Homo-oligomer: A and B are copies of this chain.
């Protein structure tokens, strides 16, 4: 069985300008790995209609799922819903189900439903709403694209509600061996190991700490017994 594939599209000038460090990608990557969905590609684009539409079309055509973050709030720079609708040729307008959710939330909070807030009830025809337990304004799934908020707390809540509904695969398992030798010393054995275990991914991630070179060797795959076997072989090889 081959795991489903996914891509992520991060939308936001604030990431590309260096103002904000994205936190959502790392979170999504971890959640997808647990659910057996392979994250294959991430793109980050600015709040620009053409850039968003181009990226959504490319990713939705290439992968089983696309997860977007950012650009679904009430302000003028929140254009994600418009772009997704255009990418799919879907009609976009205020939808009664989304409006009712927002109205109930604002009533509770004693806030007025103004024009800006109503923008967040604009949902493409045919999309399914994604629950937002933090601030009510829903995300949505249209086709294979899951449109979520950029604020990390809301993004995470939306991921938690979307992922369990998706068909997963075999969770990606991994083991790490921390080696206090430079990559150049262990590259030979690692290559042989990778060739002997083509069903696994053998990665080597160097670090330098207090002037000493070391590397984390990470063996990844879906078969725990195979990872055990490879790791045992590696540990024995590097012991010599």
Contacts and interface: CB of A to CB of B under 8 A. Distances in A.
Interface of A: 13-22, 25-26, 28-33, 39-47, 51, 73-77, 111, 114-117, 119-120, 134-135, 151, 153, 172, 174, 182-188, 190-191, 194-195, 201-208, 213, 218, 220
A77 B203 contact: yes
Q: Is the interface of A mostly helix, strand, loop or mixed?
A: mixed
B208 A13 contact: no
17 contacts: A15-B25, A15-B29, A15-B42, A17-B174, A18-B29, A18-B31, A20-B205, A22-B25, A47-B203, A75-B186, A75-B187, A75-B190, A77-B194, A77-B201, A115-B187, A116-B183, A151-B207
A117 to B, nearest CB: 4
Contact of A17 (B16, B213, B220): B220
Given A18-B30, A77-B201, A115-B188, 10 more contacts: A14-B205, A15-B29, A16-B29, A73-B187, A74-B187, A75-B191, A116-B187, A117-B184, A151-B206, A151-B208
Contacts of A75: 183, 186-187, 190-191, 204
B76 A187 contact: yes
A76 B33 CA distance: 23
Nearest to A30: B18
A25 B28 CA distance: 17
